[in-house]
Structure 1
Amino acid sequence: MNRPEKAIPEGKNRLALETSPYLLKHADNPVDWYPWGKEAFAKAKSEDKPIFLSIGYSTCYWCSVMERESFADASVAELMNRYVVSIKVDREERPDLDGIYMNAIMLMTGQGGW
């Protein structure tokens, strides 16, 4: 969600400024997460980087596994921060986006999941 300029607390990423419990869970990750919004897309365009989009929700088992095994890992975060603009979406806040991307993955692979 877009909000007025606020300072990001030290040792946190932009998700620390969000209200979603799911997004706040990722505020301590070393990944330079952005919430869905103009700032993330402007950065991707200005730096000519692809978007890494992660959609999840607070009680999702596999989302917790990804957070623990990948997004909390400093070496993974270093690669993500260097090569992509990472956007994290709470599907409970944005079911519209979840629907769009779930439909896309179903069309491309024949499967998706929660």
Structure 2
Amino acid sequence: MGFFDRIFGRNKEENESAAPTPRQSDIPPAKVGPNGDFDESGLAKRVAIAFDDDNQLGDLERLWIAQLGSKVVLKGECPSQSLLTRAVTVARGVNGATDVDTSEVSVG
């Protein structure tokens, strides 16, 4: 089970991606959903898709993704600092992410 399915309770649709084209130009980048429509959790969903697409992250079953505005919030557990660093790098690379908070992640 991937991040998207575990966190949002459904499989990613074929037209959903980490880098969608917004369907309306007035949607803030953090609120663009994986299919390009307005979505309050759009950034978190696109980060989940980016994590699923990254072969280094695999499925970290104890790591969760949330968002506060344009800030990505990671919570839970990560088995190593190198995997957490990779997760932060991937999250920062998603359009609309201005910061990544890892204060609620324990490593080890």
- Normalised by the size of structure 2, how large is the TM-score? 0.26
Look at both structures and tell me which one has the larger radius of gyration over its CA atoms.
1
Q: Counting helix residues as a fraction of each chain, which structure ranks higher?
A: 1
The higher relative CO (CA closer than 8 Å, separation ≥ 6) is in: 1
Structure number with the higher strand fraction is 2
